Structure 1
Amino acid sequence: MTDTTQNSQQDAQHETFPRAGFMRRFGGWVYDVLLAIAVYMTAGAVSFLIFGILANYGVISMQGHDHLIDLQQSSIVYSLLIYGWNFGWVAFFFVWFWSRSGQTLGMKAWRLRVQNRDGSLISKKTAIKRLLPTLLGLGNLWVLLDRKNKLSLQDKLTDTEVVTLSKEANRGRL
């Protein structure tokens, strides 16, 4: 990493940036939904591959089904395992990016960063707490009701904020 990039990241942590409004958050959300779908589909492909290998080697009984997908759909346990695996990877995607740099790829494109109110990066624990109210972007609708403070439901519940970075502060690694 270059000195310029390091300096801009350090300056970004000490600079005060304006809180992001609804439209900018919505733009970042659209990007991130597309990425989350890709993560979910990739996790699904991996889970299907693992499931197929386990069935092929007899670790999992086909229970009279001709096709693997029929077995998966008929078993609540297998369905819960697969959906849990897939959604777990989507959750990991958000927690990892939020706690590592404060920005997902979609947020980076829209120059957004989630941070603690003091400007520091959020912890993994805080990122996990942000997940549920962030579900489907519904927590961001709160910004429309709180135009003065521009805080979403997840911001209020976790004492965080989403800010709009300057172009210089947005440079650097993810």
Structure 2
Amino acid sequence: MLNAEHANFPRASFVRRLGAMIYDALLAVAVYMIAGAIGFGVFYGLYTTGIISLGGYEHISDTLNNTPIYQGVYQLWLALCVGGFYALFWSKGGQTLGMRAWRLKVQHPNGQNLSFITACARVIWSILGLGNLFILLNSDKLALQDKMTRSEIVILSVEANQMRNWHGA
């Protein structure tokens, strides 16, 4: 969705991004915990139906944590859920809840929202938030993930932030 009104807002500084990141980290932990409970429930269901065995371990959690294939699939599931949380919010409305609190929006420079694929690429390029350190090395206030996905994070006016809803209006 193209929103030309948002094309002229100023880019966000490192400090503003950091504020939103701290807020969103709490939400990401909650997503991680819920995904973990769901993943463990599926694993437990596979065990109780006899599809998988304990593999010599006494407890099911030991089997999950000490069997490389199970642990790998479980960790991938958790990463996809947390990454998907960010990608979904960025592609649907350009804001996570932390970004909304700090009046930030991720978008293309012309004001267009990111596609889900571009938002997924942005998650990868952010390198767990470390891509934001790139802002400190240049004057254009673009992080690594901004440059790699041709996007930016802007500071919305109070009015523009209040008029936005989760669907990107």
TM-score by length of 1: 0.89
Residue of structure 1 equivalent to 2:18: 26
SS of aligned partner of 1:54 = helix
Counterpart-to-counterpart distance in 2, 1:135 and 1:34: 18
Gaps of 5+ in 2: none
Q: Is residue 49 of structure 1 aligned with residue 41 of structure 2?
A: yes
Residue of structure 2 equivalent to 1:101: 93
Higher mean C-alpha displacement, 138-147 vs 37-46: 138-147
Residue of structure 2 equivalent to 1:170: 161
Deviations 1:12-63 (A, max 9, x none): 6424100001100000011111111111111001111111111112111112
Task: Evaluate the alpha carbon distance shift between residue 13 and residue 108 of structure 1 in structure 2; reply closer, same or farther with a 3 A threshold.
Answer: farther
SS of aligned partner of 1:162 = strand
Percent pairwise identity: 46
Alignment of 1:63-102 (within 5 A): 63-102=55-94
SS of aligned partner of 2:161 = coil
Higher mean C-alpha displacement, 128-137 vs 76-85: 128-137
Alignment of 1:101-120 (within 5 A): 101-120=93-112
TM-score by length of 2: 0.92
Counterpart-to-counterpart distance in 2, 1:141 and 1:66: 44
SS of aligned partner of 1:169 = helix
Q: Is residue 152 of structure 1 aligned with residue 143 of structure 2?
A: yes
Counterpart-to-counterpart distance in 2, 1:13 and 1:67: 57
Shift of 1:145: 1.5
SS of aligned partner of 1:89 = helix
Counterpart-to-counterpart distance in 2, 1:110 and 1:163: 10
Shift of 1:135: 2.2
